[in-house]
Amino acid sequence: MKLPLDAALGATGATLLDGDSAPASLRVSTDTRTLESGDTFVALRGERYDGHDFVTEAVRRGAALLVLQRADARVPGTAAMVVEDTTRAYMALAGAARALFGGKVVAITGSAGKTTTKAFLTQLLATTYGDRALAAPENENNEIGVSKLLLTASNESHDVLVVEMGARHHGDVAPLVEIARPQIGILTNVGEAHLEIMGSRERLEETKWALFSGGARAVLNAADEVSRRRAATLARSPHWFAAELPRDVAPFETLTAFDGEGRVVGRATGRSAAYEVDVHVPGLHNRANLAAAIAGAIELGVPLERLLPQIPLVRLPHGRYDRIPVAGGIALIYDAYNANASGMIAALDAFATETATRRIAVLASMAELGAESSALHERVGAHAAGKVDVLLVRGEHAPELARGAKRGGLEAQQIVVVGTNVQAARWLREHARPDDVVLLKGSRKYKLEEIVEELRT
């Protein structure tokens, strides 16, 4: 989106220097590697980087305007907008761009499943919108990623924006909603992610529920306790979604749900219709994500009937329940993009449906769970005991995982504590057989993809 200079100045409150050379409209960039001649370069600052160090390079590559919070970083002869904080200015520019966007915006947040739901929704929308539906790649879901998406969009090229909103700290979602102004908000669930940083479950709930602070049409998980409890505070009855059709659908005026793996049910204004469909995503949690995406597409104006041919074709994004061939014929499932207790349990439930002589899970510890960390790790370990034949555990909370597994019924010889990914790979190479299936699940900090690489060599 190209922003008029006056709109950019008004949004940011910047002081314009060398304004005679400033462009009339701004195409915003934060990366000198992709910057084009005539662009406006925003010098973002973070814990490990400072964009002011690249100002000269930006001008060399053709930047026509600089957005700085350090006036001493100016390049003589190049226009500059000086602001108090370049990150806040970047978000303000994104908000101004959103105000000019005439299409629809759907935002997705939740403790788990955000990126998967975004991927599913984007695939479903392709049937109607093609490449006119724009979503951020991977999980660019913080203030920088959301701002980048809003500034990338244009009325000439896009009709729908699919925005993913992450939250590590209390209150993180509200400012993203303020700049993105979504008409539709999908809340996948409210679990335990980042409890240590959030401070409490109440603060976590408040942060996620801010998705609807701007009046977005709510798309909620019928199985999520927080959503059921808070739904009454919404101005309008939500569109519910579910991985499994509730026994009593009467309380759900608008509902999208799966009835087993062969039917999808759509309910609107109290009337239901069922359609035959094949669902190929593994696990109830992913079926819930798919139901959320279908509900989101319906709210964007795509009839359920038009979505039916596309539903069997949707695929999980990279790092989610990936089946990876490795040496020795081991059947390996990599689902270690990230992990919290709800996600671990959901992955184990999906894993339990795998056909194999033995199911072997490698579980690494979870991060940022605060005071509940020990209890949640024991809970996951106990749950794993009923789903696997052998459990490998590693990381800071490996003892709690093992303790929970023993409490859940696994014998000591079925539990293996490993100190490193190399040790885990060595154990699998020596003990796993081609008729076994292996799950890798854990927090990103433990880099379980190293096990995959070890087994490939």
Mean pLDDT of 349-375: 92
Q: Is the pLDDT of residue 193 over 70?
A: no
Q: Over 80: is that where the pLDDT of 191 sits?
A: no
pLDDT tens, position by position, 396-406: 999 999 999 99
How far apart CA 296 and CA 122 sit, in angstroms, is 10
Which residues, in sequence order, are bridge partners of residue 257? 242, 265
Q: What is the mean pLDDT of residues 357-381?
A: 93
Query: Is the per-residue pLDDT at 325 higher than 90?
Result: no
Q: What is the pLDDT of residues 149-185, one digit of tens each?
A: 999 999 999 999 999 999 888 999 999 999 999 999 9
Per-residue pLDDT for 195 more than 90? no
Which candidate, 109, 261, 88, places its Cα nearest to that of 194?
Answer: 109
Q: What is the mean pLDDT of residues 191-202?
A: 71
Residue 83 has pLDDT above 90, yes or no: yes
- Residue 197 banded pLDDT, cuts 50, 70, 90: low
Give the C-alpha separation, 236 to 251, whole Å: 14
Tell me what the mean pLDDT of segment 244-268 comes to.
Answer: 94
The secondary structure of 208-260 as a DSSP string is HHGGGTT-PEEEEETT-HHHHHHGGGSSS--EEEESS--S--TT-SEEEEEST
pLDDT of residue 314: 96
- The per-residue pLDDT of the chain, averaged, comes to 94
**Residue 329 near residue 432 (C-beta atoms within 8 A):** no
pLDDT at 75 (0 to 100): 95
Report whether pLDDT(84) > 70.
yes
For the chain, what percentages of helix, strand and coil (3-state, to nearest 5) are there?
40, 20, 40
Domains of the chain: 3-86 (3.40.1390.10), 101-313 (3.40.1190.10), 322-456 (3.90.190.20)
- 210 alpha carbon, distance to own chain's centre: 16
Question: Given a cut of 70, is residue 434 above it in pLDDT?
Answer: yes
How confident is the model at residue 36, as a pLDDT? Answer: 96
The answer, yes or no, to whether residue 8 has pLDDT greater than 70, is yes
- Cα–Cα distances in angstroms (integers) from residue 154 to residues 3, 36, 101, 141, 177, in the given order: 10, 17, 7, 19, 19
47 confidence band (pLDDT: 50, 70, 90):
confident
Which pLDDT band, with edges at 50, 70 and 90, does 244 fall under? very high
The pLDDT score that the predictor gives to residue 282 is 92
Query: Token pair for residue 88?
Result: 């806040």
Burial annotation 240-274 (CB, 10 A radius, 16+ → b, else e): bbbbebeeebeebebbbbbeeeeebbbbeeeeeee
Average pLDDT over residues 85-104: 98
Query: Cα(167)–Cα(196) distance, rounded to whole angstroms?
Result: 12
